[in-house]
Structure 1
Amino acid sequence: MNSNTEKKGAVLQILRAFNPPEKDHHVWGDYKLTKVSNDVLIGIVLKHTTKSREDVEQIVKQNNKPYYLAIPKRKNHLSLQNTFINNYENLNETAIEQYEKFLEDDFHYFCTTILGLIPDKGGHSVYNDYDDIENHTDRVVQPNDVLHIGMDFNVTNMSAIVHVHEGDSDYAVAELTGIFDTYSMCEKIKELYSGHSIVIYPDASGQNRKTSGKSDFDIIRQYKYVIRTGVTNPAVRDRVNEVNSAFRERKYFVNRFTCPVYSESLKKQKYKNGEPDKKEGYDHTNDAGGYYITKKGKTIKINSSGARTR
């Protein structure tokens, strides 16, 4: 932001060059915010895609989130807003494909980060499709349930989200948070869920050997739990998109009473510099839940002996 309000005859200019904060942010004090109608939003999106109007209308209808445009309140304010379209001829095909892919994979992210539209309060939430009412379930762990546990490794602060799968839907029914280490986590699972079949969906980094000679995967196998994983974790953006899609399509539900930390983290984790913020501590349970959603049915299994199976 460049300004000179003291020099006689100077023209005050405000140049915006950022991913816009929420509409309640103080930066918008010098602007009048105008809500973008669906018709206007459709027109803006059509300038940034080769999709048909019908496809864009359907995407906008499904999103159902408000956005705003900023208009300077003072006549001597100059406000410039650009998107990748203004630099289209200088971008390679890969970059353009990546930007346009967000339109379908994460429309809200496309609107705010790619188009620069101003989101409503809470609009920069990573899991913006999670609604703790619409995505709530009263489901709890029941006898004979097969438990699918997403697990995130952090020294002194491990997290695990316990799921059950029914029909074509997944239910987060319990959480384990603030666990000291992998041994403690496995002991807690054994204590709480003895008699259940257990499948673990961990952070792929857990297969790396530690200084003690045993990896986190080795420890899990000692407890005879099946591990379902891949050589590497899915890309963060792909994981976030898949979890949001499951929430949006009402195929993923969270018991906010038995998973209070997970539910709050889903609501409060925000983007920072274009990536999910990890400094506030909301990432641990969110990563654990996401590992299950993205790895179920898609990856190799490692049985209790360490052998890989399909």
Structure 2
Amino acid sequence: MWVEPTYQLVKRVAIAEWSQTLRQLGIPFEEHKADNAMTVGPRGQQFKVYFYSAQHPERIVGQTASWAVIDESALVSEKVFANVLARVRDPKAKLSQICCVSTPEGFNWLWKTFVKNATSQTRLIKAKTSDNPFLPPEYLDTLREQYTELEFSQYCEGEFIAMSGSVYSRFDRNVHIKQLQSPLQGDLVVGADFNIGKMAWVIGSNLGDKLHFFDEQITHNRNTEEAAELLDQKLRGIYFQAGLTYKPREIRIYCDASGAARKTSASRSDTAILRSFGWRVMHHPANPAIRDRVNAVNVAFLKQRLYIDPKATYLMQCIEQQGYDQSGLPEKNGLDHGADAIGYAVSYIMPVMGRKPTTRKYM
């Protein structure tokens, strides 16, 4: 089974290139135009290939296939993939496979399947344009002149990129995703983004010249006091697992400066609630400019002073996928909460230009 994004590509690309390649290799075949199919191979060794358009996923039914290819798969819907997956079920097949061939197009179902939710049954193979030995040497230089840095990474290097402009462009999954073996080898820190609908708090270890965030707490429709109670339980658990006595005064929480005035719980401010649990609360008198906070995080990634444990899945998603909106500001699309939380901590501990800003500290 072979799937193309459109019917035109089935006719002009898939079937045409199959026919040309089979002729060059001297392999006999017969095209069945009415069925968009092709019988390939000599007698006794024949197999049949059906060609489908992804424009009508509801028509990808009824067949029992041994294998399938979805060409330009990032351009088709997840429904197409689901229907193809249901068709690759031939019990006689020695090895049932689905091959998705594509240039990455942001963080869609293709990324979720082969990166975020990858299993032992999936495999991601990245091929750079420069790996193609049949291209003329000037081809890559021409593309580099035409594309932005992000476009070149996506279209020529096979990287999944937030093409609206990645906010945290210095983040590299291969460099900055590392497991933290001992969370308490440094001082515990928490980056807190206050909200009511969705509240994101990220937990890390300050190792002196490095920050390593290893856990997160995401709450929905809870006030600050309820979220703080959950955090208190989580932090106590970290100390308990390490066999140490819980010491809240050793824990610093870096938060939104507006938390000193905002009240999401009863009559106390957000920061007052955090202090009541014994934690040290740190924040600027006023929030730094968004660009300064973003720059602090990017510089920390660039200098390899900031890492994220794979356990913090939501934080990774925020950092990797948040893009810019049309006004040039980080998108408010549900991925901003985790990014803001880590930004409050990083911009305080590792400010750009080495400046130590005036802060509000509750000792």
2:231 to 189, 214, 218: 189
Distance 2:312 2:272 in 1: 27
Alignment of 1:63-102 (within 5 A): 67-69=144-146
- Aligned amino acid, residue 209 of structure 2: D
- Aligned amino acid, residue 300 of structure 1: T
Distance 2:268 2:139 in 1: 56
Structure 1 residues 213 and 119: alpha-carbon distance in aligned structure 2, compared to 1, 3 A threshold: farther
- The TM-score with structure 2 as length reference comes to 0.50
Distance 2:200 2:191 in 1: 8
Distance 1:251 1:167 in 2: 10
Cα deviation, residue 141, structure 1: 5.2
Q: CA RMSD in A?
A: 2.9
> Could you tell me whether the CA contact under 8 Å between 2:183 and 2:204 is conserved in 1?
no
The reply to whether residue 223 of structure 1 matches residue 277 of structure 2 is yes
Aligned twin of 1:303: 362
Gaps of 5+ in 1: 1-21, 26-33, 41-65, 71-110, 305-310
Distance 2:342 2:204 in 1: 9
Give the structure, 1 or 2, with the largest relative contact order (CA under 8 Å, sep 6 or more): 1
Q: Name whichever structure is richer in helix by fraction.
A: 2
Cα deviation, residue 144, structure 1: 6.8
Cα deviation, residue 23, structure 1: 10
Aligned twin of 1:276: 330
Structure 1 residues 149 and 141: alpha-carbon distance in aligned structure 2, compared to 1, 3 A threshold: farther
Aligned twin of 2:288: 234
1:107-160 deviation line (CA, Å, top 9, x unaligned) = xxxx77xxxx95543251111111122102210553575211010011031111
> Could you tell me whether the CA contact under 8 Å between 1:146 and 1:164 is conserved in 2?
yes
Aligned twin of 2:316: 263
> Could you tell me whether the CA contact under 8 Å between 2:170 and 2:301 is conserved in 1?
yes
Identity of aligned residues (%): 28
Alignment of 1:205-220 (within 5 A): 205-210=258-263, 212-220=266-274
2:207 to 166, 177, 186: 166
Cα deviation, residue 171, structure 1: 0.3
Aligned twin of 1:285: 338
> Could you tell me whether the CA contact under 8 Å between 2:187 and 2:207 is conserved in 1?
no
The reply to whether residue 148 of structure 1 matches residue 189 of structure 2 is yes
Q: How many residues align?
A: 202
- The TM-score with structure 1 as length reference comes to 0.58
**1:275 is paired with a residue of what secondary structure?**
coil
Cα deviation, residue 24, structure 1: 6.6
> Could you tell me whether the CA contact under 8 Å between 1:160 and 1:176 is conserved in 2?
yes
> Could you tell me whether the CA contact under 8 Å between 1:23 and 1:119 is conserved in 2?
no
Gaps of 5+ in 2: 1-102, 107-137, 155-160, 237-245, 351-355
Which moved further from structure 2: 175-184 or 141-150? 141-150
